[in-house]
Structure 1
Amino acid sequence: MSSWYEEVSVKTEPILKQIKEHVFIKELMAGTLPKEVFNFYINQDTIYLAEYKKVLAQIGIKCSDDNDIQFFLDSATGIINVENALHQHFLKEEITTDEASITCELYISYLSRMAHTKPLEEGLAAVLPCFTIYKQVGDYILENQSNKENNPYQDWIDTYGGEEFANSVQSAIDITNKFAASASPETIDKMNEAFEKASKLEWMFWDSAYIKEAWKI
């Protein structure tokens, strides 16, 4: 019998495929992505993660199992310790902004709403694509790139293609599957909807970075 995550992954495979085929990912893998585009992305990702870690902490608070609570609180702390260091590495001499792009604002607002106002199962499904898609993109790049020695973005690539991140992703999947196993059909539908919407927002985040999305007014 397949798990909830396996089933929803099949349904959302076209979204993942489009992410892998996006010009941002292709140029990142080739090492030809313009520096100003990557810097825009890292800057927006810093803004996103500042809120995402709060969302993960809220998800942890809503859990009842001590191990589940600890995982999400550790994940929130891990963002502070690991992600921020990576961003400082790439942005240490760059001019940055504290203003979220349109897509970044949409994504963090959506996740915050799911974590604070919806049942735990839906919140878990909404935060999961940020784990799984980054793992899949990292693996995809590592498997297909031929320039690991001279890619200026290799540190970023290695972060999401490493074993430590893989273990964290699997834990997030296992916890979500556990809740899905006892969920009603109606809840499963809501979980599927949340996972699909967050996956689409992941694509939109890459796309908004590539065009250096700006507010129109």
Structure 2
Amino acid sequence: MAQSFWDAAASLISATERHPFLVSMVDGTLSLENFQYYAIQDALYLTDFAACLHLLGDKMATVNEEASQRLHRFAICAEEDEKELHRSFFKRWNIDANDAKPMPNTLLYTSFMTSIVATRPVAEGFAVLLPCFWVYMHVGKCMLALRNKLGGSVHRPPQYDAWIDMYGGDEFERDVNEFIALVDGVAEGAGSETLKRMEEHFMMSCRLEYLFWDQAQCLMQWSI
């Protein structure tokens, strides 16, 4: 069932894998300033994403204890493994990101995601979180393939390669496939209206993934 959501979002996925931010990260033309902006906003996003996974895990506790525990482990992975990548970046750059504030598209995405997980049925919560897993794995694989195609002649900051290695790697792919299986499980017994909502939330999160890179591309700030 999750595959049908992905298929419905095909045009969004296609546009995302060609996003200038991602492509320029691989070909070495992306400014470090843009990547630093992105990393700070992504760290803020991951805090809320982990909170949503914990909340969804709590909701699943009385339904499927095994799935509940897996969701909490996913949350810990986001808090520890993924954010550790960001913390290593900040240490290397001598940046203190503790006082950073979410920019417009970060707040838009996290608010939407949190609202769905907190107020809607668990199946919809799974769907709204799925693109963060699946889109990142997909673009990670695409950027890995592009890096291999370009070969070793391109110079890029080591943080770019670390990002590609994490999200294009086998370990992240295993986690993504596990989450997809969980989504398929909750979708299996869902009615047509719930499935429609799940697809809508999935597609909206795909749009917001694209916009997240958009704001890093243009270094979006609050205008007032």
Range into which the TM-score falls when normalised by the shorter chain: over 0.9
- Secondary structure in 2 matching 1:17: helix
Counterpart of 1:71, as a letter, is R
- Are 1:58 and 2:59 an aligned pair? no
* Partner residue in 2 for 1:74: 73
Alignment partner of 2:24 out of 24, 27, 31: 27
* Partner residue in 2 for 1:83: 82
Aligned residues with identical type, % of pairs? 30
* Partner residue in 2 for 1:40: 37
Alignment partner of 2:143 out of 141, 144, 148: 141
Counterpart of 2:42, as a letter, is D
2:152, 2:47 → 1: CA distance?
Answer: 29
1:28, 1:122 → 2: CA distance?
Answer: 33
| Alpha-carbon spacing, 1:52–1:186, altered in 2? closer, same or farther (3 Å) | same
- More displaced 10-residue stretch of structure 1: 10-19 or 86-95: 86-95
Instruction: Describe the superposition over 1:11-32 as per-residue Cα deviations: whole angstroms up to 9, x where unpaired.
Output: 1010011111111011011122
Instruction: Describe the superposition over 1:58-96 as per-residue Cα deviations: whole angstroms up to 9, x where unpaired.
Output: 111111212211111001111122122111221221254
1:148, 1:126 → 2: CA distance?
Answer: 37
Instruction: Describe the superposition over 1:99-119 as per-residue Cα deviations: whole angstroms up to 9, x where unpaired.
Output: 100000011111110111000
- Are 1:202 and 2:202 an aligned pair? no
Counterpart of 1:204, as a letter, is L
1:175, 1:66 → 2: CA distance?
Answer: 12
* Partner residue in 2 for 1:170: 177
2:152, 2:37 → 1: CA distance?
Answer: 23
- More displaced 10-residue stretch of structure 1: 146-155 or 198-207: 146-155
Counterpart of 1:94, as a letter, is I
Counterpart of 1:159, as a letter, is M
Q: CA deviation at 1:151?
A: 3.4
- Secondary structure in 1 matching 2:144: helix
TM-score by length of 2: 0.92
TM-score by length of 1: 0.95
Instruction: Please tell me whether the aligned partners of residues 40 and 209 of structure 1 are also in contact (alpha carbons under 8 angstroms).
Output: yes
2:7, 2:109 → 1: CA distance?
Answer: 23
1:79, 1:6 → 2: CA distance?
Answer: 23
Instruction: Describe the superposition over 1:156-194 as per-residue Cα deviations: whole angstroms up to 9, x where unpaired.
Output: 110001111111101110011111111101111000000
2:152, 2:88 → 1: CA distance?
Answer: 18
* Partner residue in 2 for 1:116: 118
Q: CA deviation at 1:147?
A: 4.0
Q: CA deviation at 1:5?
A: 1.3
Q: Which runs of 5+ in 2 are unaligned?
A: none
| Alpha-carbon spacing, 1:18–1:122, altered in 2? closer, same or farther (3 Å) | same
